[in-house]
Every structure is written in C-alpha cells, then in structure tokens.
C-alpha cells in the first residue's frame, strides 16, 4: 500500500471508546489506501463509505451533474441529509466518464489507486475503455469491485435492478409480514446495506491476497441478490433436504417461542426473544405460567414454536397489565431478553446509545453540527473515525486534479467548460 499526499489530514479516535489503557489515536487501519468511488446511489457507495471510515483515502468521482443520491430523501437548505452520511469521508471531484478525455483521466488516476468501486451495468465500462483488462494494464495491483443487480454473468446480467428486486427474489419478502397478509418489503435499503458490508469485506480480502505472494489485484463480481440470500438462513438447504418452504409468521419465529412484540399498559411496544430454553423458562415463570415449563415438549425450541400461541397469550397478558418501566425491570431481574421498540427520537435518547456515542455529532460546513450513525466497528487498537460529512459537488476538483495529476488552471478551465469536469 502506498501513502498518498492527501492522506495528511488528521483523524480522531472513535468517540466513546477511549480508556486509560487505550493506545493513542491512529489514522485508521486502512490509512494509505486510495479508493476511487465511481458508483452511484447506495450499495457500492456504502462500501466506499465503510473503507473511508477506517482511514482509506476515498475519492468520490461524480458526473458533473451530480450523484442522484444527493437529491434522495430528506433535505435541509438544499442539502441532502442522506448524502451527508453516505458520502462522509470522501473527497468529491467531478468527471464525465462518457468522454474520451474523462476516460483518460480515470486511467491516469487508476495508476496510483488501490481500489476502484463501480456499479455500472455490465459492459458499460468496457464500452468506455475502462474494463478490467484496460485498468489492470495500467495497474496490475488494482482491486476492482463491481456491484450489479444480478452479477456480471447469467441471463439476468443486463437487467436493471435495485435492492428492492433482491429483497423480492431472495426470499426475504416472502417470509416477511403476517401469515394472512402480503409479502412485505423493508422500508429502507436492506439489500443495499448488506451488499455494502459484503463489498467492504470483499475488498479487504482481495487486498490481503494482493499483498501476499500473488501480488496482483483482481475483480470482485458482486450482485445485490447474493449477499442478502447468504444471510437468510438455511432455506435452500431445508428445501433441498426436506422439501419445506418457509412462509410468513408475522413477528413470531418458526424456530423458537416466545418471540413477538407486545404492548405494555402505558402504550409502549416491546420485543421479546427467547431462543435459549433457559431464557424461555425464565420468561414463562415470570409471567406466572411455570406449568408450561413443565410440559414434556418445552425443552424443544421447535415444539415451543408450534405451541407459540399458548406462550404468546401468557406473555402478552402479563405485559399488558404493566407499564414499560416495570416490564423492563422485571425482565432484567430474571435475566430474560427484552427491548423497547424505538422510533428514532427514542433511540437517540437511550442511555446505552448515548454512552457509546452510537449516534455522534459531526461538524458540517453547510449545516453546522449534525448527528449521524457513528462508525459501526469499534477497533480499539486502530479505530475508525468520521472526519467530515458528505461534501459539495466538485468541491475538491481544484486541489485534487492539481496535486494528483498536475493539471494547471488553464487546462482545468478548458475541461470544465467542455463539461468533462
């Protein structure tokens, strides 16, 4: 890995993780890596965001008209709030990759890059002379993450796809919702988020391979479908071996009970999970039904699930007679698992969330102090950090192109007037 001039900015330790024995703040375990992010919207940009959280020098390369994610979701004073999060820790430059000059500039940038993240439809980069063969010709060590709906091969490779389609096809929607209701999609980009995490894992794995005896980069061909499918449990195996197809169970689980949401006396919803038999026994004794614990079937999680309505009714009645504070205290007293169901305002005032700075405050040059989710992994030896939120369109053009490629002001003006930058 080669350090780059723009890596000289200072970083801060992960808020909330310092102790007397903690090492001094670091620049992040990925310091010295240069990542070119030419992707748009969510999954691949999340990968680049995660790499930036842990110190990589991420260069966000947008079309001069701007990434569509800038205008997605809630806005304040003309600034997209989701952009402030997903583009954090990324320097922002503009470049029209559909032009000959833009393509050459990207090839020049790739020479000193470690990673390139993209999510164009299969064949687009190849049409522009930016396919893996051309990029590896100028930098054999490049790791190229390619994120598409269905992957670079197969009969669906050319189809347009978003995370919603992966949530539908993976089996997630089929299993989500009430038993007598329709399949249910998540209200946020679940497939994109899972793919973003998988992409970061893939990039780091490929870099470890490159930095070993092989010494070469490679292409990571990742679809939105496969990472989500990979975390949905043993459904394909169960179908292969038993012929079973999982259906919808509402908030209940087909694998254990009690597991559901319940309403307290003061109108607050809570979630209970009792995967372990010992925890399930504590819950049933707490709610006044030790007789259920004595049943011959109780020690089997599957049998508890099949008797889920019986267990649910007992838990629901007990919780309905008590306010949230008492319910929480009693579950904690007996060592059973329960949590309140929060909206975002309640989440942001929770003492555990506050103590660990899960939602942190970052200074933004446009909006002042803003809150956002903190770095999700707490590496006490080499912590990550949020250095700055998402920046303005083309904000770093002058500095980056001048310092990295040596483009003078006259040429910069010419390229800007032609729409290349």
The tokens for 169 are: 């096809």
Q: How far apart are CA 371 and CA 305, in angstroms?
A: 40
Is the model more confident about 246 or about 21? 246
- Quick count: other Cβ atoms within 10 Å of Cβ 376? 10
| In the predicted structure, residue 173 carries a pLDDT above the cut 90 | yes
pTM of the model: 0.91
- Band the pLDDT of 6: cuts 50, 70, 90: very low
- Which pLDDT score is estimated for 95? 98
CA distances from 381 to 13, 14, 19, 29, 85 (A): 10, 10, 11, 9, 24
Kind and range of the H or E run holding 202: helix 190-210
Nearest CA-CA partner of 110 in 129, 91, 138: 138
| In the predicted structure, residue 280 carries a pLDDT above the cut 50 | yes
Q: How far apart are CA 163 and CA 169, in angstroms?
A: 10
Mean pLDDT of the chain: 93
| In the predicted structure, residue 323 carries a pLDDT above the cut 90 | yes
Q: Which residues pair with 369 in a beta bridge?
A: 363
* Span 141-152, average pLDDT: 97
CA distances from 273 to 17, 204, 340 (A): 29, 34, 12
Helix (H, G, I), strand (E, B) or coil at 6: helix
Nearest CA-CA partner of 41 in 93, 80, 77, 75: 80
Kind and range of the H or E run holding 237: helix 235-242
* From 67, 96, 192, 221, active-site residue: 192
Residues 6+ apart with CB under 8 A from 197: 46, 47, 50, 227
Kind and range of the H or E run holding 75: strand 75-76
- Which pLDDT score is estimated for 26? 64
- Which pLDDT score is estimated for 250? 94
- Which pLDDT score is estimated for 27? 85
Residues 6+ apart with CB under 8 A from 50: 196, 197, 200, 376
Q: How many CA atoms lie within 13 A of 132 on its CB side?
A: 16
| In the predicted structure, residue 25 carries a pLDDT above the cut 90 | no
- Band the pLDDT of 20: cuts 50, 70, 90: very low
| In the predicted structure, residue 417 carries a pLDDT above the cut 60 | yes
- Report phi then psi at 398, rounded to 5: -60, -50
The fraction of the chain above a pLDDT of 70, given in percent, is: 94
| In the predicted structure, residue 340 carries a pLDDT above the cut 50 | yes
- Band the pLDDT of 17: cuts 50, 70, 90: very low
DSSP 113: -
* Span 370-385, average pLDDT: 96
- Which pLDDT score is estimated for 18? 38
Asked if 94 contacts 395 with a C-beta cutoff of 8 angstroms, the reply is no
- Specify whether 192 is catalytic: yes
* Span 380-397, average pLDDT: 96
Nearest CA-CA partner of 11 in 23, 26, 1: 26
Residues 6+ apart with CB under 8 A from 273: 256, 259, 279, 337
- Which pLDDT score is estimated for 80? 96
Give tens-digit pLDDT for 85-131: 999 999 999 999 999 999 999 999 999 999 999 999 999 999 999 99
- Which pLDDT score is estimated for 4? 43
The fraction of the chain above a pLDDT of 90, given in percent, is: 92
- Which pLDDT score is estimated for 19? 38
């Amino acid at each position: 890995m080669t350090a780059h001039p723009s890596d000289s900015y200072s970083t801060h330790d992960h808020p909330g993780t310092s102790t007397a024995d903690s090492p001094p703040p670091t620049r992040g375990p990925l310091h010295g890596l240069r990542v070119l992010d030419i992707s748009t919207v969510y999954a691949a940009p999340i990968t680049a965001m995660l790499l930036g959280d842990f110190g990589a020098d991420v260069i966000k390369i947008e079309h001069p008209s701007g990434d569509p994610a800038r205008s997605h979701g809630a806005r304040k004073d003309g600034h997209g709030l989701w952009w402030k999060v997903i583009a954090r820790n990324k320097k922002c430059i503009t470049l029209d990759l559909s032009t000959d000059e833009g393509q050459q500039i990207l090839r020049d940038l790739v020479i000193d890059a470690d990673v390139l993240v993209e999510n164009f439809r299969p064949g687009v980069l190849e049409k522009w002379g930016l396919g893996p063969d051309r990029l590896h010709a100028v930098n054999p060590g490049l790791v190229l993450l390619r994120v598409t709906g269905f992957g670079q091969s197969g009969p669906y490779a050319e189809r347009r796809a978003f995370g919603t389609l992966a949530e539908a096809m993976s089996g997630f929607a089929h299993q989500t919702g009430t038993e007598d209701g329709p399949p249910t999609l998540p209200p946020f980009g679940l497939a994109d988020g899972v793919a973003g995490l998988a992409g970061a894992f893939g990039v780091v794995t490929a870099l470890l391979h490159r930095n070993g005896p092989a010494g070469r980069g490679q292409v990571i061909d990742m679809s939105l479908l496969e990472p989500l499918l990979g975390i949905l449990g043993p459904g394909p195996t169960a179908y292969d071996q038993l012929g079973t197809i999982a259906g919808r169970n509402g908030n209940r689980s087909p694998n254990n009970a009690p597991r559901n949401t319940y309403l307290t006396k003061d109108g607050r919803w809570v979630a209970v999970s009792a995967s372990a038999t010992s925890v399930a026994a504590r819950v049933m004794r707490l709610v006044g039904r030790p007789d259920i614990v004595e049943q011959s079937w109780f020690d089997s999680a599957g049998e508890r699930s099949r008797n889920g309505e019986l267990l649910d009714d007992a838990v629901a009645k007990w919780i309905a007679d008590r306010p949230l504070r008492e319910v929480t205290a009693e579950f904690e007293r007996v060592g059973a698992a329960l949590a309140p169901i929060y909206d975002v305002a309640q989440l942001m005032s929770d003492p555990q969330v506050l103590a660990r700075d899960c939602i942190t405050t970052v200074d933004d040059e446009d909006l002042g102090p803003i809150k956002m989710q903190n770095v999700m992994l707490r590496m006490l030896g080499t912590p990550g950090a949020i250095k700055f939120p998402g920046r303005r369109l083309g904000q770093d053009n002058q500095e980056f192109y001048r310092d990295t490629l040596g483009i003078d002001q006259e040429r910069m003006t010419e390229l800007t007037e032609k729409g290349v930058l």
